Chain A
């Protein structure tokens, strides 16, 4: 591998490039934790979320809202419409510097 792409390959490294002004309270809420546990074998949000906000931890969904890009994919893509999605408080959340 050449130097191209060596940096920022993993999602952790990509997220490290960003600036966040995280609120103390999550703007993303799993409405019914049982739905994830019992009715959602794929847990597809853990796959398509571009910031790996959603991580399945044995019996529950961990929501790392601090790294959210506020794209809205989880709200639209959750097969059970089980995610309450709001904007972070004014001035909080992701702060894009370039793109």
Chain B
């Protein structure tokens, strides 16, 4: 093992592996450090991986990567206790190359992706915890690990250590997060016969479907549920802000059971056998919660940099892109022989100018807004469901009468004004 690396990447998730892959490919001397038994053993996500950002790193990856199903349909269910208003899009252009996105199981995918980085020449070291950054004055020069004689040195350390990012915190790049900046998601992988999945979800072979669940799936708390099709399993999960669970004194696994037994979901998963139960935090504070992501000799990427677009359930794509840009930045710095914050600042500029920064900015106030005003999830989503029920129930009343009834159900003039104001405010935070 060399005394010093060009770069140490902490954490083998989408950000870290992308970074290590790109660096190794360019001939840099890179160590990829992972605390788990293997890459993916600590990693959890609902399961949607976006093709574009992965292909920016490995073209045609989908021809050999362990993917579950390409997604051809995305459904959205606005749920009440015994009803759901459903809409979605299905398009066969997503069933063929170049595809839009895929479901994946992270433990399988991350192992494959990390192996690709190793093939490029990265040194993968598992079962090793990065305890702290080694600093010289203001400059990060390496990582202290929990191995005997475990100090390793590098020109740059890239922190891809996930949502908790203890290392970025220990550098003072962010304070401790608050319960309204993170969502706690729990999910289950449920085994179900391949043919049954395809019949139940109206899919051909090698096609997949995602269903996002709003409203009663989280008992009105800010968050979403999801049901994704894998090859011969389903991923069913639910995530809400940690602050929501605290406020409502709700056990996350009981909420998961609530979704599993919900009359709108129950039959879709009938007979499916639980294979694994997983819990994980998702950084949802968005732009305002982003830590400092560049320092002397150090960069922060992926969940550790809070790069998640909760509104569009995107995160792994942002992680990969941030890892890729971090690698590009390290190479630039290496060429210049300067690893100061000034040179590494390229990372922040490029990241924030691209889709990652732009989308984070676009939705910067959304989580906070929907958390502060719970009526959207508590009242308006069920209201939409009731209006649909009114309109589609044929009972001899004229459609004009029905429209009047729906209008009356919205409440007094004052309540209607409040709804109008809320809709305007919602539009403002997502426009």
* A complexed with B: yes
Q: Which residues of A contact B (CB under 8 A)?
A: 2-5, 7-9, 11, 13-15, 17-18, 21, 42, 44, 47-48, 50-52, 69-73, 75-77, 81, 85-91, 93-99
B351 on the A face (CB < 8 A): no
A99 touches B278 (CB 8 A): yes
* Assembly CA distance A47 to B260 (angstroms): 20
Q: Which 3 A-B pairs have the closest CB atoms?
A: A91-B127, A50-B279, A8-B274
Q: How far is the CA of A44 from the CA of B127 in the complex (A)?
A: 32
The residues of A that contact B271 with a CB separation of less than 8 Å are 2-4
CB contact between B182 and one of A50, A70, A76 (< 8 Å): that residue: A76
Tell me whether A77 and B242 are in contact in the complex, defined as CB-CB below 8 angstroms, given that A4-B271, A72-B163 are known contacts: yes
A–B pairs, 13, beta carbons within 8 Å = A2-B266, A5-B257, A5-B266, A47-B245, A47-B251, A50-B252, A71-B279, A71-B280, A76-B182, A97-B107, A98-B108, A98-B275, A99-B45
B236-278 residues with Cβ-Cβ distance < 8 A to A are 242, 245-246, 249-253, 257, 260-261, 266-267, 269-278
Q: How large is the interface on B (under 10, 10 to 19, 20 to 34, 35 or more residues)?
A: 35 or more
A3-B270, A4-B269 given; name 9 further pairs at CB < 8 Å: A4-B271, A7-B274, A9-B257, A48-B242, A89-B146, A90-B145, A96-B40, A98-B189, A99-B187
B354 in the interface, Cβ–Cβ < 8 Å? Answer: no
Tell me the total A-B contact number using a CB cutoff of 8 A: 150
Instruction: Known A14-B274, A69-B279; judge A50-B186 contact (CB<8 A).
Output: yes
User: Does residue B27 face the partner (Cβ distance < 8 Å to A)?
Assistant: no
For B164, the chain A residues whose CB sits under 8 A away are 72, 75, 85
With A2-B270, A5-B257, A99-B187 in contact, do A69 and B127 touch (Cβ < 8 Å)? no
B31 at the interface (CB under 8 A from A): no
Distance between Cα atoms of A72 and B169 in the complex (Å): 13
Question: How far apart are the CA atoms of A99 and B163 in the complex, in Å?
Answer: 17
Task: Please tell me if B322 contacts chain A, counting CB pairs below 8 Å.
Answer: no
- Residues in A whose Cβ lies below 8 Å from that of B105: 98-99
- Which residues in A have their C-beta under 8 angstroms from that of B274? 7-8, 13-14, 17
- A residues in contact with B280, CB < 8 Å: 69, 71
Q: Is the CB of B276 within 8 A of A17?
A: yes
